[in-house]
Each structure stands twice: as C-alpha cells, then as structure tokens.
Amino acid sequence: MNNRVIRVDQLARVEGEGSLIVKVSDGKVSDVKLRIFEPPRFFEAFLRGRKFTEAPDITARICGICPVAYQMSSVMAMEDAMGLTVDDGIRRLRRLLYCGEWIESHILHIYMLHAPDFLGYEDALLLAKDKPEVVANALRMKKIGNDVMCVVGGREIHPINVCVGGFYRVPRREELQPLLDPLKWGLDQAIATAKLVSTFEFPDFEMDYEFVSLRHPEEYPLMGGRIVTSSGLDISIREYEFHFEERHVPHSNALHGLERGHGRYQVGPLARFNLNFDRLSSLARQVASDVKIAPTVRNPFKSIIVRAIEAVYAYEEAIRIIEEYEPPPLASHPLTPSAGIGCGASEAPRGMLYHRYRVADDGSIRDAKIVPPTAQNQPTIEEDVRSFVGKFGGLPREELTWKCEQAVRNYDPCISCATHFVRLEEA
Amino acid sequence: MNGVSASAPSLLIGVGNEFRNDDALGILVAREIRRRHIPGVAVVERSGEGTALMDTWGGAALIIIVDAIFPAKSPGEIHRLDAVQEEIPRGFFHYSSHTFGVAEAVAMARQLGSLPQKLILYGIEGKEFGEGVGLSDPVLRSIPALIAMIEEDLHALHAV
C-alpha cells in the first residue's frame, strides 16, 4: 500500500477532461490533482458583443442546478454598472426565488448525492430500494423548491422571468399563497433532515480553513452585502478582484481561485454558516443547537448538516417573504443603457459566485468575468484530499477511494457526478 | 405547477444544453416539434437533472424524452428505447454523467412505482460535447429521421 494511485475519472465522455488523481509514493501523498470542466470560460467569450439585457438568460445556462445564482449575480452586476438600486419588493421577490433554488439544490445534494455515502449505499437508487419512503419524501421536499421557482421564475429550470431591473412580471398574492402549506411541511421535514444527518458517522477530520462569504447587515447572505473572510477581511464586492485572483495551473484548464497573500480558501455552506451564524433565524439557530453544531465547523464532512440547517432557513425565509408579500409597485425599473463597469455577487448553493461586466454606451457587453464557486474551492478540495489520504492512508483500498470521492462531494461541486467513476490503481 | 398542460395526452421533453454542441440536440428537436403544433402534444425543455424530469412527466399518457447519447457505435446513430419495458444502461445518455440524469430518473421512478404509462426515450449518438453552439454533421444529418420517428409515435397514439 506504499505506492498507489487513486484515480477518479470524471466525465470520461467529455473528452476526458476532469478527474481526481491522488498519487502515494513511499507511504506519502506525492500528488493530488483535481481537474474540472469549467463552462464559464466559454460563456465569458460568448457574452462579448451581446446586449446587457441578455446576460441573465445566457449565464443561467451555465448550470442546470443553480441558474438563479447566475441570474442574480449578473443582474446585480448590470444594475451596479448602471447605478440602479432596485425596489425592496423586487429584492425580496428575488430572495424568494433564490430560496427555491437553495431548497432544490440542497435537498438534491443531501439525499441524492451525499447521504448515500454516509449510509453505505453506492447511490440514491440503492437507497431508494431499501428506503423508498425516505427518497420519496426527499423528492417531495425538493419539488417545493421547483414550485417556488416556477411561480416566481416562470419555470423551474432556467427561470425566464428575471431581467435586469427586476422581473418581467411579478406574481399576485394569491399566486404565492398555495406555496405556503407545502413550504410549512417542507420546513418540518428540513428540521427532521438536520436531525437525521447529524446522526451520521463523521470521520475525525478537521482542517484550518480560510472561509469566504458574503455578509449582509441584517440577512443570512443570499445576494449582495460585503465580502468577509475568517481572517478578518471585510471588503465591498467591487474590491473582490483586488484581493482574490484566479491562477492557471498546469494540470487543469480550470482556473484556481486564490486569496492574494493568503492562498486557498473555501466558499459555500460552511463559510456562510461560520461567518454568518448570527444572521440565521432563531429557529435555524435552535435547530443547529439541537443537533449540536456551532461555528466554527472545520470538518468538511459535516457540510451535510450545515446544508440541512440552510434548508431550514430557506423554507422559513420563503414562508416569511410570502406571508409579508405585497406586489412591488413596478415589475421592473426601466433602464437606459450607459457605459460602465459593474460587479455582482451572490451565494450560489455551493458558494459565492462573482460576476463583473464592462458595458459600452449602446448597452453591449465588452467583457465579462465569472468566478464560479467550484473554481474557488478547487485548491481547497485538493488540499482536503491530500490531508485525508495522508491521515487515513492505511484504510483498505476500496474504503479510501470511496472516502476520497466523498471528500470531493463535501463541496457539492458541479462535477460531483464524476466521483462515481473511480478506479484505484497500484502505482 | 410544472408549467405543462396537465390535459395534454402526450409530452415531449427535450433534454440537453444548447451551449455544449451535440448536447443541444434534444433541445433543438423539442423546438422543432413545438413549431409543428401537433394537437395534444405539449413540449418542454429540460437540463436533464433527474428529479426535475420526474416532476415533469405528470399524468401524460405518452412521454417521449429526447437526449444526446454518449458515442457507442457511430455518431449520428439513432436509438429508441421503450423505458417501461427495458432497463436503460447507465451512462447511456450524455447527461447521465451528472450523477442523476435521465437514466437514473427512469430507474428511480421504476423503483418508486412512478413510471409513466408509456415512456419512450430517443437519442442520437453525439460526436462533439465541448463548449460551443452548433451540432456536428452526423447528428445534423440524423435529425430529420429522428423527427419522423417521433411524429410516428405521436400519431400512433392519437390514432388509437
């Protein structure tokens, strides 16, 4: 077992790009490389010359799981470029749409992708065979997120109702009301989910992370606010690129996100939870206390518990927004294009998503920069795998390979699929 | 609340990503079927995330899913599977690499007893799945034949 290679062949069918390779030589980890497929590069080029109004719908196509994140970061960047602050009612409605996405994405990840790891099932299908009621329940929980997206966003995948300046159409009160009972049911289920996943067995594994997330004066972060880090940085979104950079690494087409003068960092549920615990609702904080999880969580495997707490928050926040809802006076603010540079950031389910656009006088996009959460987490994922194999290298081959996949899945990367195609080879 | 007319007896779901070359074929075929306004046929586009697909198929008597297929024999080759009768090989569809895609959705629905009455999967073996817009030649050449086969299925149902 002194020399071996753990290879996770991701997306073999996409020209072989993307994989996880861990090399162990003389009992020590000599190399960890995570290669990921990263669509935003193409989209950045594709956006050049398009109208500023097209950015939300085009970038929403980058991801089938988190289109709202792409839409929200892009509309906020465009509105920043044009000096527009949207009406509070529009902002609340956007937040509701975002809750729908968090519900969908977190429940999908918890039950379909992550829980099978902890329960010893190869995948959710085998889990469904043994516990059909658990999976059927999870699908129902997730569908509530779809329904929120459908009512607010126009449809559940790639919402079509979001525009720079607001929405094409805002829902009437009575359109949102039918969501309340299912959301209340979902909230109870999310609390039960947090309790369930907190009973899982977690490896004894902690890392010293630099956490990075948005922070809002009053809310648990979904959109906007400032960017904060666990080492004390507190900057405006416009200052992001002064403090964070993306570097090419020889082994990957994807760029690695790094904090200048600091190095790798982590975005996502653990970062949000650790840096914004005081912004969670009292119920979400109570559930966290009941399941005995509190900041600072440094065990990445426990991200499944934090996702469940965030799901509690998302159901509750959606209920609150709907109960207080009054349609905003205007569906959207009229906008005349003007030249400018704008930045926007929001919290995709898997972490902070940053957009920057330069727009010309005629409203055409001159250039675009999109920094997705998975690119930012990539160096941290590699370090987790390196440390995990260093600590647990003595585990049987099959178990270690599985745990390495799981270490990648902790981050719910857009490539979590990949980790199902694993081979462990002798070096 | 799935945006689909519950009363439509047939539902065609185009699956794919229009910015990943041949992965767009399901979406493009769906748009062509929609353009033809076949009575009783609802058309939707999906990314291929499995649980969202399961939400979509509702109560339609016939569901047709069109997706790109990972190249096995030759790009452009058309495949037709009756998903109620046959198991789908995992990894068959291009998107199924994304953990929970078309094949997994069908398998999960089978497991949970929620398969539609009739479910037909169509696919064309793709060639190019990189970032970009536009289908490869072999896929383009097969599209008319695929549309003809789909129309035949739809008409057969409505003739009964």
* Per-residue model confidence as pLDDT tens digits over B2-35: 444 445 789 999 998 888 889 899 999 999 999 9
Residues of chain B that touch chain A, judged by Cβ-Cβ distance less than 8 Å: 1-3, 17-20, 46-52, 54-55, 70-71, 91, 94, 97-100, 104, 107-108, 111-112, 129-133
Are the CB atoms for B17 and B68 separated by under 8 Å? no
Give the pLDDT band of residue A179 (cuts 50, 70, 90).
very high
**Looking at the structure, do residues A248 and A332 belong to the same domain, yes or no?**
yes
Whether residues A124 and B49 touch (CB distance < 8 A) is answered with no
- What is the predicted pLDDT for the residue at A60? 84
Q: What is the DSSP letter of A163?
A: E
**Looking at the structure, do residues A191 and A321 belong to the same domain, yes or no?**
yes
Which residues of chain B are within 8 Å of residue A154 when distances are taken between CB atoms?
3
In a domain, B4, yes or no: no
**Looking at the structure, do residues A307 and A169 belong to the same domain, yes or no?**
yes
**Looking at the structure, do residues A19 and A78 belong to the same domain, yes or no?**
no
- What is the predicted pLDDT for the residue at A281? 98
Give the nearest partner residue to B108 out of A42, A124, A156, using CB atoms: A124
**Looking at the structure, do residues A135 and A255 belong to the same domain, yes or no?**
yes
**Looking at the structure, do residues A133 and A22 belong to the same domain, yes or no?**
no
Are the CB atoms for A309 and A389 separated by under 8 Å? no
Lowest mean pLDDT across A177-186, A238-247, A309-318, B17-26: B17-26
**Looking at the structure, do residues A67 and A30 belong to the same domain, yes or no?**
no
**Looking at the structure, do residues A185 and A265 belong to the same domain, yes or no?**
yes
DSSP state string for A249-284: ETTEEEEEEEETTTB--B-SHHHHHHHHGGGS-HHH
pLDDT over 50 (residue B135): yes
pLDDT over 70 (residue A40): no
Domain total for chain A? 2
Whether residues B51 and A41 touch (CB distance < 8 A) is answered with no
Tokens encoding A292: 């005995």
Lowest mean pLDDT across A78-92, A316-330, B146-160: B146-160
- What is the predicted pLDDT for the residue at A287? 98
pLDDT over 80 (residue A139): yes
pLDDT over 80 (residue A35): no
Residue that is last in its domain, among A371, A389, A415? A371
Residue that is last in its domain, among A344, A371, A398? A371
Residues of chain A that touch chain B, judged by Cβ-Cβ distance less than 8 Å: 10-15, 39, 41-43, 46, 61, 64-65, 108, 112-113, 123-125, 128-129, 132, 135-136, 139, 142-143, 146-147, 150-151, 154-158, 416-418, 420
User: Minimal Cα–Cα distance from A38 to chain B, Å?
Assistant: 9
Residue that is last in its domain, among A347, A371, A395? A371
In a domain, B145, yes or no: yes
Give the nearest partner residue to A142 out of B51, B71, B99, using CB atoms: B51
Residues 6+ apart with CB under 8 A from A374: A36, A38, A350, A351, A411, A413, A414, A415
In a domain, B89, yes or no: yes
In a domain, B142, yes or no: yes
**Looking at the structure, do residues A65 and A113 belong to the same domain, yes or no?**
yes
Q: Name the residue of chain A whose CA is nearest to B114's CA.
A: A136
Give the nearest partner residue to B52 out of A42, A157, A417, using CB atoms: A157
User: Minimal Cα–Cα distance from B112 to chain A, Å?
Assistant: 6
What is the distance between the alpha carbons of residues A112 and A116, in angstroms, rounded to a whole number?
A: 7
**Looking at the structure, do residues A32 and A48 belong to the same domain, yes or no?**
no
Mean pLDDT of chain A: 88
Whether residues A156 and B19 touch (CB distance < 8 A) is answered with no
Mean pLDDT to the nearest integer, A200-223: 97
- What is the predicted pLDDT for the residue at B48? 79
In a domain, B5, yes or no: no
Does residue B146 sit in helix, strand or coil?
helix
Give the nearest partner residue to B54 out of A15, A139, A158, using CB atoms: A139
Higher pLDDT among residues A421 and B67, named by residue = B67
Domain total for chain B? 1
Which residues span the domain enclosing B72?
10-159
- What is the predicted pLDDT for the residue at B2? 43
Does residue A358 sit in helix, strand or coil?
strand
Whether residues B3 and A155 touch (CB distance < 8 A) is answered with yes
**Looking at the structure, do residues A101 and A173 belong to the same domain, yes or no?**
yes
In a domain, B3, yes or no: no
Reported as a single tens digit per residue, the pLDDT across A140-166 is 999 999 899 999 998 666 678 999 999
CB atoms within 10 A of CB A243: 15
pLDDT over 80 (residue A67): yes
- Residue with tokens 């799935």, as numbered in its chain: B2
Which residues span the domain enclosing A395?
4-38+380-426
Quote helix, strand, coil % in chain B, to nearest 5: 40, 20, 40
B77: domain CATH number is 3.40.50.1450
Q: How many CA atoms lie within 13 A of B123 on its CB side?
A: 31
Whether residues A42 and B132 touch (CB distance < 8 A) is answered with yes
What is the distance between the alpha carbons of residues B8 and A226, in angstroms, rounded to a whole number?
A: 48
pLDDT over 70 (residue A212): yes
- Per cent of chain A over pLDDT 70 is 88
Lowest mean pLDDT across A302-311, A346-355, B109-118: B109-118
Mean pLDDT to the nearest integer, A230-253: 89
In a domain, B34, yes or no: yes
Torsion A340-A341-A346-A350 (CA) sign: positive
Are the CB atoms for A265 and A246 separated by under 8 Å? no
**Looking at the structure, do residues A194 and A115 belong to the same domain, yes or no?**
yes
